[in-house]
Amino acid sequence: MSKISPVRLSPALKEYIWGGTKLKTDYNKKTALETVAESWELSAHPDGESKITGGPYDGLKLSEYISLCGADILGNNCEKHDHFPILIKLIDAHSDLSFQVHPSDEYALKNEGEYGKTEMWYILDCEDGASLYYGFKRDITKDELKAAIKSGTLTDLLNRVPVHSGDVFFIPSGTVHAIGAGILICEIQQNSNTTYRVYDYDRKDKNGQTRPLHIEKALEVSDLKKTGPAKPPKKGSDVVLAKCEYFTVRKITANGDHEIDISKSSFHSLIAVKGAGSLEINGETVNFIKGDSIFIPAQDGKYRVKGDCELILTHI
C-alpha cells in the first residue's frame, strides 16, 4: 500500500436526543450506543474525527493520516484552505431536529474561532409524510423573525417541504432550517460544528436539562430573504447534486462497472449509500458495503467501481 492507495474510514458516532437506530440496523454502524443520531464519515474536526481502519495507517485519526502522508494527498484545490475543508455525515432523524441556522465564514471566524457552515442534504430514505423546513416563504424583517420566535409561530414563516428518497437540498449559511422526523440524510458540509438553535420544542436531555438556544446570534446571521424551491432530483449514472466554492457532490450509480476520473486537483470521498461493490485502482481492490466510507488521495488516473450500488462522491 502506497500513500496514494485508498483507505477505509471508520466514523465518529454521535448520540443525540433525536437520533434513532437505522444507522446501526440499515447502515452497518457497529456500536454499543443505544441510538445513533449522526455518523461522521469523513471528519478531521476535533469534536469527532473519523479514523483509518486497516492497512499500515490503521487507527490513525484522519488529521494524523494527512499529517503523516503530506498535504499533497488532499490535492491542489485544497491549498486555499488552512484546514481540512469538509465534513460528511449520515443523519438519522428519528425525531424532529431543532430549528437552527449556521453562520457565514466571516461571522463564525470572528465570534466562534472556526469557519461557517454551508451544507447540502441528500435524502437517503424517509417515512411517508416526512417533511423538513428550510428558508423563508417571503422576505421578512429581523423584527418579524424575533416576534415569531417569541410567539412560537416561526413555522408560519418557513417553507415546509415534503421529502422523498433522492431529493437534494442546498443550505447556504444563514438559511434557517429544521430536519423533520423520519428522515435519513447524507450531509456534506463545511468543516464546522457551529450551530445556533432558534427553537427546540422545549425538550430536555437525558439529564433533564433543556438544550441552550442562541436566539440573539441567530438573529444576527439569518438570511431574511425569500428562499426559492429546491431543484428536482437529477437522473443518470453520474450526476452533480451540488457544487459551490466549498465542495462538489456527485451521485454515482454503478450497475456492473463504472469508470471515474481522478486528478491531483482533489481527493475523492466515497460513501456507499446503497448496495455493495468493489473499488479498483492502481491494481488494488477495496470491497465495500452500504454505509462504508472510502478516502482516495489526489492523483492523476482513473478508478473503477463494480457492483450494484449507489455512491456519494465528494471532491473539492
Closest to 247 measured CA to CA, from 260, 265, 235? 265
**Catalytic residue IDs:** 197
Closest to 284 measured CA to CA, from 73, 29, 7? 7
Q: Are residues 32 and 156 in the same domain?
A: yes
Residue 226 lies in a domain: no
pLDDT > 70 in the chain, percent: 100
257-308 confidence digits (pLDDT tens): 999 999 999 999 999 999 999 999 999 999 999 999 999 999 999 999 999 9
Domain count, the chain: 2
Q: Are residues 310 and 205 in the same domain?
A: no
Residue 229 lies in a domain: no
pLDDT at 207: 82
pLDDT at 142: 97
Task: Pick the last residue of a domain from 167, 187, 221.
Answer: 221
Q: Is the dihedral of CA 187, 29, 35, 209 positive or negative?
A: negative
The contacts of residue 101 (CB under 8 Å, 6+ apart) are 174, 175, 176, 177, 195, 196, 198, 218, 221, 222
Q: Are residues 168 and 289 in the same domain?
A: no
Higher pLDDT, 235 or 241: 241
pLDDT at 310: 97
Q: Give the domain range for residue 243.
A: 238-315
Residue 2 lies in a domain: no
15-60 confidence digits (pLDDT tens): 999 999 999 999 999 999 999 999 999 999 999 999 999 999 999 9
Q: What is the CATH number of the domain that holds 264?
A: 2.60.120.10
Q: Are residues 94 and 176 in the same domain?
A: yes
Q: Are residues 262 and 168 in the same domain?
A: no
82-101 confidence digits (pLDDT tens): 899 999 999 999 999 999 99
Residue 287 lies in a domain: yes
